[in-house]
A and B are shown apart, each in its own frame.
Chain A
């Protein structure tokens, strides 16, 4: 792969041909703000470059260049920290804010909103472009997320992820100019679209326009994140579990080897079973035909005695165990060890065939 020489803010580096200016800056640890840029787009080199927040100066180029979508060329000299760059970015944010409600105090996205962060960075308390605003009714017809297009900044991330990565193509862009907004077919509710509720649009939305319908109220700064593997099908998607106290309150996708930032409806929204009130919370033992609460010690003793007695009376082949495709490798290992080493039989299987 051929390498190109490039200078960013006076620092020289080499990047592979086909890299964007953003990649070169990242490599040097120089931060360029982004909004519409999607990490997963690298694969297809088809960045929307819709928001213009990542613009930079390129020597001998008349216009500012979007760092996310401009390929590096040999000998390119790039400046990311100039007055012209900052003025342009500030105008972009100001324009976005001109059609955005200032309800950050109650917005669920507050604290993890890219627009909010950019306003903070550029010191924008309010827009300098007062005037017309869009007024869309909220669409809550999807069971898992709501859509408030008044908070949409038309970055196109939702449409990109739906059309190019999830490939469900449930939404597109409707209207032009000031009225441009993501639409389901015929601008009707999401429930009338082909949406499969994967929630990938919700995950990539930089503002509060697309929000999961949560049972819990929480602020983003109250949340801890734990990297883990999804517990549904065998794809092995990587995700963060978002927890508040001892409760799982949300899921966000990670760029795992198998999922590259995507999840499905079960992975993204199907976590409420974890803290469900119907969970078993104590051992149960059958007494007089009824299952009644018991201590661990009681339950363990009962099992151990029964296993030993059965083995002694009927032999090991009278015992068997069904392991689980749901639990970890370590647990499957111990289970078959228990059946083989303690029960004394190889009659251990699980639902691989079902």
Chain B
């Protein structure tokens, strides 16, 4: 996030897109509603009529995969009505003319046609966003998980720049991170192209710095992304795969392919807290401690590094992940030992400029620090790009709308999209073990519009078969006016009736993110299972 969470409370307008905020980030959802109470205007652009729509001044119910058309339509309206922040654009940005040229074709009318909404609503949204002095964009995977995900994010950045909403308090672009430490995993270099602090592996000076710090020679070749690793594993090119705290057997697209790939991996190590679907395929399983059994830090979605503290001893023979990794590093010839996570953090600070001024002492004293925090006397950074953008001038990167890789056709006439529900978390490794949460949401389902359901003779609770070009699953139907007639929704949490059996593994060419949010699907009512019926009668 360029802003802090609490800055949202003082925003004049909040544009929520591709985020089911009250279910996936409930406390941020609550904060946005507090902002609404204080007078903020809310715009929601989503394929589903999510709870947040109740609070919206404008709701744009777009077809999945048409984000960029919408954002371009909004920008086109802002420019044609002269609502852009002309002064800001002149002083703080570049390449504006290219944006004007690109969005010129995308009048609200053109965009409305593509998105399946009313052009007047686009204009209203554009005016509300442009006229608010402090406009915050809040987005999530509904923007990124498309084959044009990166360009979707760039479009949002264009929109923010267009209205002078980068580098100010309570105005900015705010991706909501879905997992407790996904921010930290990125910050710490859990990415194929960057060392901790986003220092590029291809940069000779950076490589040299880490070679010196770690006392080994390092590769300057950008590594493979998750989806590429799985792909290569499938072809037998990856012989050893080490997976820590992840469950690709539920979370990755096109699961049949993932299973084959993991089975094809000669040696698979899985380190986790439960015997997950992925761990069941492993050659070695290492039992890890949960967050309650160890010390350390997480970095949240607003770049705030906060303490994790040990409340109980690890159960059984479990070990904290850091201990396991240190033991293995030692066995693999990297001699350095750490007595506590704090000693690891000290090493992190010494090689990561943005974490340079963060210490356990300061975190304990202050409760948390937001990076960039380069020095011990730096108070942390509440919002990014103050005064000027990190790169100097804010660069407009106009994006042209491209349809999703898979669009509805005669065989697969519906658009399927996926997401989370309030009561579960990712692949249910944790929430699946909590009775109350399971009671609230016990099984996989598919949401379908009432008119669409009627045409297929489907009623609430029916078993239905959802098929795509990748496969098919049978799940329970939930009939709801949340969706338009041509769209269906499935939660991706479940291993049985798994949405990701169906999702399209096509990737965004830049971020390599799969297109989870839009693929072509077909729905059929499953014939009544008489055997089950007779069982019940008996």
Q: Is the CB of B328 within 8 A of A282?
A: no
User: Is A296's CB within 8 Å of the partner chain B?
Assistant: yes
How many A-B contacts at CB < 8 Å in the complex? 469
User: Is B459's CB within 8 Å of the partner chain A?
Assistant: no
Q: Is the CB of B244 within 8 A of A346?
A: no
Q: Which candidate, B88-96, B97-105, B127-135, B344-352, is the interface stretch facing chain A?
A: B344-352
Least Cβ–Cβ distance between B105 and chain A, in angstroms: 30
Q: Which candidate, B75-83, B331-339, B391-399, B482-490, is the interface stretch facing chain A?
A: B331-339
Least Cβ–Cβ distance between B52 and chain A, in angstroms: 11
Query: In the complex, A196→B21 CA distance in Å?
Result: 13
Least Cβ–Cβ distance between A7 and chain B, in angstroms: 32
User: Is A117's CB within 8 Å of the partner chain B?
Assistant: no
User: Is B405's CB within 8 Å of the partner chain A?
Assistant: no
Q: Which candidate, B156-164, B426-434, B468-476, is the interface stretch facing chain A?
A: B426-434
Given the contacts A270-B425, A328-B298, A265 and B437 also touching, CB distance less than 8 Å:
yes
The interface residues of chain A lying within 8 Å CB-to-CB of B344 are 330, 333-334
Closest residue to B429 on the A side, CB-wise? A273
User: Is A260's CB within 8 Å of the partner chain B?
Assistant: yes
Given the contacts A282-B317, A302-B284, A322-B248, A350 and B30 also touching, CB distance less than 8 Å:
no
Choose one: A241, A246, A263, A269; the contact of B437 (CB below 8 Å): A269
Q: Is the CB of B439 within 8 A of A331?
A: no
Closest residue to B423 on the A side, CB-wise? A265
Residues of B within 8 A of A (CB): 4-6, 9, 22, 24-28, 30, 33-34, 36-37, 144-145, 176-193, 195-196, 201, 210, 214, 216, 218-219, 221-227, 229, 232-233, 237-246, 248, 251-252, 266-267, 269, 272-275, 279-280, 282-288, 290-294, 296-302, 304-313, 315-322, 325-329, 331-334, 341, 344-345, 347-348, 367-368, 422-423, 425, 429-431, 433-437, 439-440, 511-514, 516
Residue from the set B30, B193, B243, B283 with the largest chain A CB neighbour count within 10 Å: B30
The interface residues of chain A lying within 8 Å CB-to-CB of B244 are 321-324, 327, 331, 335
The interface residues of chain B lying within 8 Å CB-to-CB of A344 are 218-219
Q: Is the CB of B296 within 8 A of A329?
A: yes
Q: Is the CB of A318 within 8 A of B224?
A: no
Closest residue to A235 on the B side, CB-wise? B27
Closest residue to A333 on the B side, CB-wise? B188
Given the contacts A304-B328, A318-B238, A238 and B367 also touching, CB distance less than 8 Å:
yes
The interface residues of chain A lying within 8 Å CB-to-CB of B225 are 349, 353
User: Is A80's CB within 8 Å of the partner chain B?
Assistant: no
Q: Is the CB of B308 within 8 A of A229?
A: yes
Least Cβ–Cβ distance between B311 and chain A, in angstroms: 4
11 contacts between A and B (CB under 8 A): A229-B298, A236-B306, A241-B292, A257-B6, A280-B279, A280-B287, A291-B275, A328-B181, A347-B224, A348-B223, A354-B226
Contacting B at CB under 8 A, from A243-298, are 243, 246-248, 256-260, 262-266, 269-276, 278-286, 291, 294, 296
Q: Is the CB of A285 within 8 A of B313?
A: no
Q: Is the CB of B433 within 8 A of A278?
A: yes
Q: Is the CB of A333 within 8 A of B367?
A: no
Q: Which candidate, A17-25, A48-56, A125-133, A164-172, is the interface stretch facing chain B?
A: A164-172
The interface residues of chain A lying within 8 Å CB-to-CB of B34 are 164-165, 167
Given the contacts A229-B307, A350-B182, A354-B252, A333 and B436 also touching, CB distance less than 8 Å:
no
The interface residues of chain B lying within 8 Å CB-to-CB of A350 are 182, 185-186, 190-191, 226, 246
Query: In the complex, A294→B284 CA distance in Å?
Result: 9
Q: Is the CB of A328 within 8 A of B308?
A: yes
Q: Is the CB of A325 within 8 A of B311?
A: no
Least Cβ–Cβ distance between A168 and chain B, in angstroms: 8
Given the contacts A283-B287, A322-B244, A326-B245, A226 and B311 also touching, CB distance less than 8 Å:
yes
Closest residue to A328 on the B side, CB-wise? B296
1/0 per position for A221-245, CB-CB distance to B under 8 A?
A: 0001011111111111110010100
Query: In the complex, A270→B431 CA distance in Å?
Result: 6
Given the contacts A320-B229, A354-B514, A233 and B37 also touching, CB distance less than 8 Å:
no
Q: Is the CB of B144 within 8 A of A353?
A: yes
Query: In the complex, A331→B188 CA distance in Å?
Result: 9
Q: Is the CB of B180 within 8 A of A246?
A: no
Q: Is the CB of B311 within 8 A of A228?
A: yes
Given the contacts A197-B440, A347-B224, A323 and B190 also touching, CB distance less than 8 Å:
yes
Q: Is the CB of A248 within 8 A of B185?
A: no
Residues of A within 8 A of B (CB): 43, 143-144, 164-167, 196-198, 213, 224, 226-238, 241, 243, 246-248, 256-260, 262-266, 269-276, 278-286, 291, 294, 296, 299-304, 306-308, 310, 314, 316-354
Query: In the complex, A115→B368 CA distance in Å?
Result: 34
The interface residues of chain B lying within 8 Å CB-to-CB of A275 are 312, 315
Least Cβ–Cβ distance between B521 and chain A, in angstroms: 19
Given the contacts A232-B425, A243-B312, A307-B332, A248 and B292 also touching, CB distance less than 8 Å:
yes
Q: Is the CB of B223 within 8 A of A345?
A: yes
The interface residues of chain A lying within 8 Å CB-to-CB of B320 are 331
- Given A235-B301, A325-B182, A342-B333; 20 other pairs, CB 8 A cutoff: A196-B422, A228-B308, A231-B298, A233-B179, A234-B301, A236-B301, A273-B290, A273-B430, A273-B431, A280-B318, A284-B284, A284-B285, A301-B331, A323-B245, A324-B181, A324-B190, A326-B246, A342-B334, A345-B223, A352-B182
Q: Is the CB of A346 within 8 A of B192?
A: yes
Q: Is the CB of A328 within 8 A of B223?
A: no
Q: Is the CB of A233 within 8 A of B251?
A: no
Query: In the complex, A167→B219 CA distance in Å?
Result: 51
Q: Is the CB of A329 within 8 A of B312?
A: no
Least Cβ–Cβ distance between B239 and chain A, in angstroms: 4
Given the contacts A270-B437, A306-B240, A353-B513, A322 and B30 also touching, CB distance less than 8 Å:
no
Q: Is the CB of A299 within 8 A of B219?
A: no
The interface residues of chain A lying within 8 Å CB-to-CB of B327 are 296, 300
Q: Is the CB of A248 within 8 A of B312?
A: yes
Choose one: A257, A317, A332, A346; the contact of B304 (CB below 8 Å): A257
The interface residues of chain A lying within 8 Å CB-to-CB of B221 are 345-346
The interface residues of chain B lying within 8 Å CB-to-CB of A246 are 312-313, 315
Query: In the complex, A296→B287 CA distance in Å?
Result: 10
The interface residues of chain B lying within 8 Å CB-to-CB of A285 are 283-285
Closest residue to A262 on the B side, CB-wise? B27
The interface residues of chain B lying within 8 Å CB-to-CB of A238 are 306, 367
Query: In the complex, A352→B433 CA distance in Å?
Result: 23
Query: In the complex, A17→B6 CA distance in Å?
Result: 22
Given the contacts A165-B30, A234-B183, A337 and B329 also touching, CB distance less than 8 Å:
yes
Q: Is the CB of A326 within 8 A of B181?
A: yes
Q: Is the CB of B24 within 8 A of A233?
A: yes
Q: Is the CB of A329 within 8 A of B300?
A: no
Q: Is the CB of A281 within 8 A of B318?
A: yes
Q: Is the CB of A280 within 8 A of B224?
A: no
Closest residue to A245 on the B side, CB-wise? B312
The interface residues of chain B lying within 8 Å CB-to-CB of A273 are 273-274, 290, 429-431, 433-434
Q: Is the CB of A325 within 8 A of B181?
A: yes
Query: In the complex, A350→B192 CA distance in Å?
Result: 9
Q: Is the CB of B223 within 8 A of A329?
A: no
Q: Is the CB of A329 within 8 A of B181?
A: yes
The interface residues of chain A lying within 8 Å CB-to-CB of B227 are 353
The interface residues of chain A lying within 8 Å CB-to-CB of B201 are 346
